[in-house]
Amino acid sequence: MRAAAEEVLCVRSEDMFPDGAWHGFVTENLDRHQSVIRERHFFKPRAEVENDPSFQQIIPYVVFRHGGRYLLTHRLRASSERRLRKQYSLGVGGHINPGDLDAGDPILDGLKREWQEEVVYDGRFEATLLGFLNEDSSPVSKVHLGVVFLVEGDTPNIRIRETDKLAGELLTLEEMRMYFLAMESWSQIVYERLASGES
């Protein structure tokens, strides 16, 4: 879907951050943050909000783990998000569109749709909310709010669906350390969180 025509789920930044924006990985007040998204979300054309920090585009961000190994993906040249091409990612994520809300839950429905769109996985899918991610070091991250989930897989049988846009493999945190500087900023934050043993 072209960005000009695509509608994405948003929340006003002033609703999300009534006391001023927090930065980094947040694990407190998760119920409140989820409630704000569920009660005050709306859809706007992506082209209108892509460079407007007064709106936060909500991005479910799924980290997959099986037996101590995590899915690390690599955006290829054909990736639709030009600003993130060639970067590595520890999470699978994307925008939530109007057609994604099958059961009416903007967070969980968006999470499942994005997961199914990006990967092929035939194991158990149980997602645990780890926290919320906000940082404004780049034009991309400044207008997006990550809702970070961990999926503990019961099988390593996972593969990328659109292999022309994305490559991926299961690696331990130690094995993927060499890619750290090539990771997108969100993935660096999540990596450090996981490496510290807090999740």
Residue 65 domain-assigned (yes or no):
yes
Positions in the chain whose pLDDT score sits under 50: 1-3, 79, 84
Residue 1 domain-assigned (yes or no):
no
Residues paired with residue 26 on neighbouring β-strands, in sequence order: 132
Residue 2 domain-assigned (yes or no):
no
Q: Closest Cα to residue 96, out of 41, 133, 143? A: 41
d(CA 177, CA 182): 10
Is the separation of the CB atoms in 81 and 162 below 8 Å? no
Residue 64 domain-assigned (yes or no):
yes
**pLDDT of 77:** 67
Residue 51's CATH number: 3.90.79.10
Structure token digits, residue 50: 């892509």
Residue 21 domain-assigned (yes or no):
yes
Is the separation of the CB atoms in 60 and 20 below 8 Å? no
Q: Closest Cα to residue 184, out of 114, 84, 94? A: 84
d(CA 22, CA 111): 23
Residues paired with residue 56 on neighbouring β-strands, in sequence order: 11
Is the separation of the CB atoms in 71 and 93 below 8 Å? no
Q: Closest Cα to residue 162, out of 80, 61, 60? A: 80
pLDDT digits (tens, 9 = 90+) for 30-61: 999 999 999 999 999 999 999 899 999 999 99
Structure token digits, residue 122: 């035939």
Count CB atoms within 10 A of the CB of residue 2: 8
Residue 188 domain-assigned (yes or no):
yes
Residue 125 domain-assigned (yes or no):
yes
**pLDDT of 171:** 96
